[in-house]
Structure 1
Amino acid sequence: MEVFGFPIETLYLYALILGVILTVLFLFVGDLLEGLFNISGDGVINPITLIGYITLFGGLGYVLETVTFMNSGTIIVINAVISLIVIVLVNFFIVIPVKRSEKNISYSVQELKGTIGEVYTTIPIDGFGEIVIPRTHGTMSKPAKSFDGDHLPEGTKILVIDIDDEGVFLVSKHYE
């Protein structure tokens, strides 16, 4: 079968090559393009699924055309359906869960208000020290000063009251 004067196998091969090139480009500049064009990539149709569909459609179509003796029209329909099913399954069971897990480990500093930590480096009166806050994915240390102007020695349990504009945590002694 010929489409636009090209054998269908050639078009499938071009789609496969285009998909591979777009995949490599997306690896290098995907985050930049998502930021410039405000592409969230959270929906069913996103750059990853489109590129995957093009690649799978081209590769599967080429293999089916060269290996089987089916009619080209039948191959196009079977190829389109199988590629769509595979890409939707990959999207829902791999791409979306991975994107959600990436978002779960991030945090806003403002979310740390009200958390309990411990003084790591003594906080003198009207001075700065360091605190550690245990988190699900490890322990973080932050610069801190006393909210009440108290001396807080190393090992004191603290409560994060606020965070100033410079990112210094304002803490108070935590009474259990």
Structure 2
Amino acid sequence: MKGGRTLEGVFIGCLVGGVLFALVSVVLGDWLSASLDGMLDFLSFDGYPVLQPTAIVSGITVFGGAGLLLSHHTSLGSLLIIFTAIVIGLAAAVAMFFFYVRPMARSENSTSYSMKELTGAIGEVSVTIPGKGYGEVLIKVGAGLTNHIASSVDGDQIPAGERIVVVNVEGHTLHVSKLEL
């Protein structure tokens, strides 16, 4: 009986964990993304498009729910319940990827923005900014990168490749400073 309760605990944990992940993603997803500003980019699965967190967590959630339903409403043995729940969870993850994640990734992204929105944005110098004069920076806006003319707020030269933060915007010129973390 102890093995059945442990198995039920695993199923409940997967189900509850997936539901909590979904709720946190919906309610706090944009805020967390903006607050962390790329700190978790190392977790990205860019080289493996099938390994998307939404699809993986969906599969784990469905595994938990299917396992719980199978253990309560069938007379299958524990191993068969686990195997069947894994197959159902994998099918759900694949379906989530092909019917939701992939179409959303292929959908058109808006790149419209206001220059005023760039204040506080973090970017990278693409053309060295002299102490007195102008250079160029790359800023990520929406789904793409944009080039902007920039000058140094501090009057210091900022070499190409240096990370910067936009201090203010005047017209079409960004006034930037080195990003010091």
Bucket of the pairwise TM-score, normalised by the shorter protein: 0.5 to 0.7
Number of matched pairs: 110
Query: 1:29: which partner in 2?
Result: 28
Deviations 1:101-151 (A, max 9, x none): 1xx242378xxxxxxxxxxxxxxxxxxxxxxxxxxxxxxxxxxxxxxxxxx
Which residues of structure 1 form unaligned runs of 5+?
110-164, 169-176
Change (3 A) 1:24 1:73: same
Q: State the secondary structure of the residue aligned to 2:171.
A: coil
Whose radius of gyration is greater, 1 or 2? 1
Correspondence for 1:166 among 168, 171, 176: 171
Unmatched runs of 5 consecutive residues or more in structure 2: 114-169, 174-181
TM-score, reference length from structure 2: 0.51
Q: Is this contact kept in 1: 2:18–2:57, CA < 8 A?
A: yes
Q: Contact 2:11–2:63 at 8 Å: present in 1 too?
A: yes
Give the alignment of 1:115-154 within 5 angstroms: none
Distance in 1 of aligned mates of 2:97 and 2:26: 17
Alignment partner of 1:99 is 2:105: yes
User: Could you tell me which residue of structure 1 aligns to residue 57 of structure 2?
Assistant: 51
Identity of aligned residues (%): 34
TM-score for the superposition, normalised by structure 1: 0.52
Pairwise CA distance, 1:72: 0.9
Displacement over 6 Å in runs of 4+: none
Tell me how large the CA RMSD over aligned residues is.
2.8
Aligned counterparts of 1:20 and 1:55: Cα–Cα separation in 2: 7
Q: After TM superposition, give the deviation of residue 41 of structure 1 in Å.
A: 6.5
Aligned-residue offset at 1:77? 0.8
Taking the aligned partners of 1:9 and 1:70, their CA distance within structure 2 comes to: 14
The answer (yes or no) to whether the contact 2:52–2:97 under 8 Å persists in 1 is no
